[in-house]
Structure 1
Amino acid sequence: MTASLGVAVIGAGMAGKAHAAAYRAASTLYKPTLPEIRLISIADINEELGSEVAARYGFERHDADWRAIAADPSIDVVSVVVANFLHREIVETLLTAGKHVLCEKPLSDTIDDARAMADAAREAEDRGVIARIGYSYLRAPGIAFLRSLIEDGRLGEVLHFSGRYWTDYGCRPDAPMSWRYQGPAGSGALGDVGSHLSYIAEYLCGEVREVSGGRFSTAISERPKPLGAVVGHTRGNVSDELVPVENDDYATFNARFERCVGTLEVSRVAAGHPNDLAIEVFGSKGGARWSQTNPGQVEVILHDEQDDLAGYRIVPLGPAHPGYAGGWAMDAPGIGIGQNDLFVHQARAFLEEVTGTPEAESLPRCKTFGDGVHNMEFLAAVAESAAQGGSTVVVKEH
């Protein structure tokens, strides 16, 4: 096993901080013990923010230019957590430099760039360099438990799926213009939180076959120009000048999956719902649901219940459920695992693969760039459906 690993994060915004904190904590999870993790650099063009995040999470330094990370031989592993349109150049440069890369979703802002990145990742893997995409919600014990209820037959034949991901970071008209509000139809709420909901749906329901009923809405058509840097979803000082929003605040569509059909809905203008991911699966023997609002529990109904006790029962998640036992200092029922913890599991899984931990002894592997391309093709089919008035569009087979 490697004696030590040097780690860097490119991007110091909200998700960048999640990656930084995750690398700091990854060594505390599970067995076998990881090699020494050296926290070397946080890169961000915003020097004040980058320096603050580096100091906060114990990284040795801040770099204003990400190229310093690519050129540093002491750095082995890099998370790329910046605007989607920047991913390709950064990732390809890092892979050429021999760095293992964990890239945030979606893989890029265009399918052509995503496919090129997947080609670069396959070439890098031939040289022993690993590139993976972070699908953090696949680390949620509640979602993994829903999948086990499906696969072991306790829910019976899957009848249909319902999923929503409502957020409110864009619900106020004074939220400043940023890269999140720019780009083609489908790159807004659908590309941001819909990319999560779509891979969760496939994880539970099997590969998507076709989509229909696509509909987009841009609820707030103009936003003020910021007077300074926009970090994450924060609001700040803005000018009086308004500029047009280019993509979707809201999206909904239907899908046919390998196992069932379903309806998916996403929003960034759902006031009062800061991070409301909710999924529900219905089967011939019962149903189950999970919500990010209460991530430490799953609700289950089974038809073999007594009539006077029929209804959803609350199941506290604990060591009996996937992705829970042995990882945390307190891995008892009712403790719960939140969204920040999912990034720690993700970082741990990536580091295990980089260090050569056998797959049978590791957390489930992170997804490939090929999976990232498929996710973008799924969402592109939704955009095509919406552009054609909701028509049915077949999704390219993965």
Structure 2
Amino acid sequence: MTTTQSIGVAVIGAGMAGRAHLAGYRAAPTQYGAGLPEVRLVAVADAHEPFARDAARRYGYQRAETDWRAIAEAPDIDAVSVVVANHLHREIVEGLLATGKHVLCEKPLAPTVADAQAMVEAAEQSGRVAATGFTLRRSPAINAIRQQVAEGPLGRVQHFNGHYWCDYGHHPDAPMSWRYRGGTGTGALSDIGSHLVDLGEFFCGPVRSVRGAVLSTQVPDRPVPLGTAVGHSADVQVSAEREPVENEDIATFTATFDSGAVGTFSVSRVACGLANSLGFEVFAEGGAATFDMARPAEFTFADSSLPAATSGYRSVVVGPQHPYIASGLPMDFPSVGHGQNDFFAWQARAFLEQIAGLNHLPHCPTLADGLHNLRVLDAIVSSATADGKSVAVQ
């Protein structure tokens, strides 16, 4: 379905990632080619009213709501980002699709494969655009490396080695939240490991099987908060009461891809001093490349084109000759740089273009892609509970 009139947008969830979506829609009309319909910033919904009101004011949205159903029922809203706790996704996404909204749902898609399957079926029946927010696919540097795999000298990937290390759960007195509930596989693996698995498949194609998985909980319980925090913030008072942590702080595993490539993965939310350390190495038949989120506007690259005396890794600074930069930034000059927040704007633009029937940018991953990602995570959990045995992805 395409939309030729204006597109009214809303975001459900006004926390850390929700604000990135709000800012993304605000920036999206300023980017890339002509033809995008007028984008109306309509509403923000959050169960915690102060968050909703503050976010609406900050990002220029017309109104704040406290119930997602107000978004679903609003006739002036066409497209909605769902950026709330994972266990809430299914009800909200199905409700939005039933009222004719286009939906962009944050990853991981749902707490279970069964929930995600139901969401995919609802999307297929709705005829609306229904996407999963694997935002890192919008990184210019990551896409530049992928181009060198698909079209350049790197060729087929033999080994993907990736990590996503964060420290938001390192302090044992960080307050309890929904991120620490939900059972095995719904902790660090689901929260940040889902991104890493998607990146592995972005370069290597579908995962065939996983093995050697280890899931470990290092902080067994956390204090109950007395207030409401935004994102990973610890700036909230806590009580003396503590609740058990139900899921994992660390996940490690290996994977075999249908292409014959192998992958090694390490995920942690208790990595002291590393707030958002995502990085990977791609070793391919014709060379290698690396990426580090600490330096998001560059990557390193090595191939056999140089003589032995000067060969090796060289740093490449991203510029307009790479994906997403040309016309994607107010100043799209070489070496100007960009950050992770820009990925959300480029994702929002791609989502809106898809609704409008435009094709300037690659489409966002579908809910079916989100379902497949959960099937891989499910296999990792099965491997961990079976002492690391090999488990095929269903």
Q: How many residues align?
A: 390
Aligned partner of 2:21 in structure 1 is 19
Aligned partner of 1:363 in structure 2 is 361
CA distance in 1, matches of 2:146, 2:7: 34
Deviation at 1:286, TM superposition (A): 1.8
1:58 to 57, 60, 66: 60
CA distance in 2, matches of 1:153, 1:351: 30
Aligned partner of 1:124 in structure 2 is 126
CA distance in 2, matches of 1:152, 1:77: 34
Aligned partner of 1:90 in structure 2 is 92
CA distance in 2, matches of 1:373, 1:69: 24
Secondary structure of the 1:91 match is helix
Aligned partner of 1:346 in structure 2 is 347
For the 8 Å contact 2:157–2:203, the answer to whether it is kept is no
Aligned partner of 1:40 in structure 2 is 42
For the 8 Å contact 1:140–1:337, the answer to whether it is kept is no
Aligned partner of 2:216 in structure 1 is 217
Aligned partner of 1:258 in structure 2 is 258
Unpaired segments ≥5 residues, structure 2: none
Deviation at 1:61, TM superposition (A): 0.9
* Cα RMSD (Å): 1.1
Aligned partner of 1:308 in structure 2 is 309
Spell out, residue by residue over 1:317-372, the C-alpha distance to the aligned partner (whole angstroms, 9 max, x if none).
Answer: 11111222222221122122311000001000000011121x3xx21101111111
Deviation at 1:157, TM superposition (A): 4.1
Change (3 A) 1:157 1:66: closer
Deviation at 1:66, TM superposition (A): 1.3
Deviation at 1:90, TM superposition (A): 0.8
Task: Specify the code of the residue in structure 1 equivalent to 2:267.
Answer: V
For the 8 Å contact 2:161–2:263, the answer to whether it is kept is yes
Aligned partner of 1:272 in structure 2 is 273
Task: Specify the code of the residue in structure 2 equivalent to 1:272.
Answer: G
Superposition TM-score, scaled by structure 2 size: 0.97
1:372 maps onto 2:370 in alignment? yes
- Which deviates more, 148-157 or 134-143? 148-157
CA distance in 2, matches of 1:267, 1:225: 22
CA distance in 2, matches of 1:140, 1:337: 9
1:31 maps onto 2:22 in alignment? no
Runs of 4+ in structure 1 over 4 Å off: none
Deviation at 1:62, TM superposition (A): 0.6
Aligned partner of 2:167 in structure 1 is 168
For the 8 Å contact 2:188–2:269, the answer to whether it is kept is yes
1:318 maps onto 2:319 in alignment? yes
Change (3 A) 1:342 1:299: same
Deviation at 1:134, TM superposition (A): 1.1
Spell out, residue by residue over 1:286-309, the C-alpha distance to the aligned partner (whole angstroms, 9 max, x if none).
Answer: 210011110111101112322222
Aligned partner of 1:297 in structure 2 is 298
CA distance in 1, matches of 2:39, 2:152: 41
Aligned partner of 1:390 in structure 2 is 388
Change (3 A) 1:373 1:308: same
CA distance in 2, matches of 1:33, 1:167: 40
State how 1:183-202 maps to structure 2 within 5 Å: 183-202=182-201
Secondary structure of the 1:342 match is helix
Deviation at 1:46, TM superposition (A): 0.7
CA distance in 2, matches of 1:232, 1:328: 26
For the 8 Å contact 2:211–2:391, the answer to whether it is kept is yes
Task: Specify the code of the residue in structure 2 equivalent to 1:243.
Answer: E
Secondary structure of the 2:361 match is coil
CA distance in 2, matches of 1:299, 1:354: 35
Spell out, residue by residue over 1:134-174, the C-alpha distance to the aligned partner (whole angstroms, 9 max, x if none).
Answer: 11011001111111111125124422110000011111011
Secondary structure of the 2:271 match is coil
For the 8 Å contact 1:168–1:268, the answer to whether it is kept is yes
Aligned partner of 2:284 in structure 1 is 283
Spell out, residue by residue over 1:251-284, the C-alpha distance to the aligned partner (whole angstroms, 9 max, x if none).
Answer: 0000011331010111000011101110111123
For the 8 Å contact 2:24–2:345, the answer to whether it is kept is yes
Aligned identity (percent) is 52
Secondary structure of the 1:385 match is helix
For the 8 Å contact 1:213–1:390, the answer to whether it is kept is yes
For the 8 Å contact 2:383–2:391, the answer to whether it is kept is yes
Aligned partner of 1:247 in structure 2 is 247
Aligned partner of 2:379 in structure 1 is 381
Secondary structure of the 1:351 match is helix
CA distance in 1, matches of 2:51, 2:285: 52
For the 8 Å contact 1:27–1:33, the answer to whether it is kept is no
- Which deviates more, 49-58 or 229-238? 229-238
For the 8 Å contact 1:162–1:263, the answer to whether it is kept is yes
For the 8 Å contact 1:154–1:285, the answer to whether it is kept is yes
For the 8 Å contact 1:228–1:237, the answer to whether it is kept is yes
For the 8 Å contact 1:213–1:391, the answer to whether it is kept is yes
Task: Specify the code of the residue in structure 1 equivalent to 2:162.
Answer: G
CA distance in 1, matches of 2:284, 2:114: 38
Secondary structure of the 2:266 match is strand
Unpaired segments ≥5 residues, structure 1: none
- Which deviates more, 19-28 or 222-231? 222-231
